[in-house]
């Protein structure tokens, strides 16, 4: 059984959706959590209360990770609360979907800054205590859109493809310090972020998925938990597609 007892973790964007499931999963395995949110304070506090009700330790912290100073404060909060940082899950992500010919510059900028720069900001700060303790697990949430691209998601696909390149580069930089860096690429998972997808697109995605069903946030969380554990100690620089087999059909 996976065991994260005594580990300290930060999960960005963990008040809802996949991030929430990841935070709850890591907590059930014994990790102490910083539950990060941008605007959903009530939802974040509900996650914290659920963790505490199950005898876990967690604190909420508001931070907009695309802002370097706020990302720094987020990581420092974990260090102050738990005395160490073992696991960073860069989960926060947003979409501003539209065809490229209609895409506004601000829609490109905010998606790249939140998804890719936010991952950079948190990782840059988190690596320092991990290097000092010669231990760390960094898991970045990318997407199958970052592997194969998606119509109407030039900004999102670019940000998630960037996370894949970032993951591989940082894995090479930090491997000698016993820090693993991996990515998880979810397929279609019903969340608030995917709620506005047209039904015809959902049907097309499921047709391309050998398992013929959506994934769940809990299934993504299970993959993250593995990569955060000792069982994955020799896994780094990898992109794990948790997509029901979709990529096997598309590539």
Q: Let me know the angle formed at the C-alpha of 168 by 162 and 171, rounded to the nearest 5 degrees.
A: 130
Alpha-helical segments (H) within 54-104: 68-82
What element of type H or E holds 61? strand 58-62
Question: CB neighbours of 82 closer than 8 A, spacing ≥ 6?
Answer: 8, 32, 57
Alpha-helical segments (H) within the chain: 17-28, 41-53, 68-82, 105-111, 118-133, 145-148, 154-174, 199-207, 217-228, 246-250
DSSP state of 116: I
First to last CA, the chain: 33
Known catalytic residues are 156
Under 8 Å between Cβ of 98 and 152: yes
Under 8 Å between Cβ of 92 and 68: no
């Amino acid at each position: 059984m996976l065991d994260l007892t005594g580990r300290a973790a930060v999960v960005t964007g963990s008040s809802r959706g996949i991030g929430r499931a990841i935070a709850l999963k890591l907590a059930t395995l014994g990790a102490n959590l910083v539950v990060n949110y941008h605007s959903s304070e009530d939802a974040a506090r509900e996650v914290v209360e659920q963790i505490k009700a199950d005898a876990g330790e967690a604190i909420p912290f508001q931070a907009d990770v695309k802002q370097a100073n706020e990302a720094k404060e987020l990581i420092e909060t974990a260090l102050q609360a738990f005395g160490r940082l073992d696991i960073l899950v860069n989960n926060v992500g947003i979409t501003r979907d539209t065809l490229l010919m209609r895409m506004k510059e601000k829609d490109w900028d905010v998606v790249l800054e939140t998804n890719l720069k936010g991952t950079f900001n948190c990782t840059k700060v988190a690596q320092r205590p991990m290097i000092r303790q010669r231990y760390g697990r960094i898991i970045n949430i990318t997407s199958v859109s970052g592997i194969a691209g998606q119509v109407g998601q030039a900004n999102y696909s670019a940000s998630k493809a960037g996370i894949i390149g970032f993951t591989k580069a940082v894995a090479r930089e930090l491997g000698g310090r016993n820090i693993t860096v991996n990515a998880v690429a979810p397929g279609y998972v019903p969340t608030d972020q995917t709620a506005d997808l047209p039904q015809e697109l959902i049907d097309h995605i499921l047709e391309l998925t050998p398992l013929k069903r959506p994934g769940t946030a809990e299934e993504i969380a299970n993959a993250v938990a593995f990569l955060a554990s000792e069982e994955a100690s020799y896994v780094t620089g990898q992109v794990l597609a948790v997509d029901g087999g979709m990529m096997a059909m598309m590539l």
